[in-house]
Amino acid sequence: MGEPELALPLFQQALALDPNANDDLFDNLGATYLALGDNDAAVSWLLKAVDLNTELLETYWSLAIAYSNKGDRQTAAIYVEEYKKRAAAMGFKGIGSNAPPPGSPARYVTYFNGLCRNKDGRAWQGGRERAYSVARL
């Protein structure tokens, strides 16, 4: 996530308009708080997201990171295992397993947009940022 401090008020405004929002908004709020270092808020929103949609694979990974940041390695390990189990069930071997070679941003954008799709099939915008950062390695 590029600028979480700018994204947070927008997500909060969206939540104010629809307090029963959807899993994507809850996941985005959790990821934003995680990026800002507020692990308690991150966990709260990420748990709400997976309560609504258990297929949010990356949310399990974010939960593992947040719990690890809080020093709760046991719970973090549970979410890592949950991520692995769900990834395997989805036939997903993890980010990078089928990735194109470094140095090809356009192919990474295509790759990550394929991984990061909303329920309606549109590519998640964060895929482009992630793709360019990985391609620069």
- Each residue's pLDDT, cut to its tens digit, for the chain (137 residues) gives 578 889 999 999 999 998 887 899 999 999 999 999 999 999 999 999 999 998 888 899 899 999 999 999 899 989 988 988 888 887 765 554 444 455 555 554 554 455 444 444 444 444 444 444 443 33
The radius of gyration of the chain from alpha carbons, rounded to an integer in Å, stands at 15
- Say if residue 69 is exposed, middle or buried (CB neighbours under 10 Å; 0-12, 13-18, 19+): middle
| Domain range annotation of the chain | 1-91, 95-137
What global pTM score does this model have? 0.67
- Whole-number Å distance between alpha carbons of 39 and 46: 10
Domain 1-91 CATH (choose: 3.30.2350.10, 3.10.450.50, 1.25.40.10, 1.10.287.110): 1.25.40.10
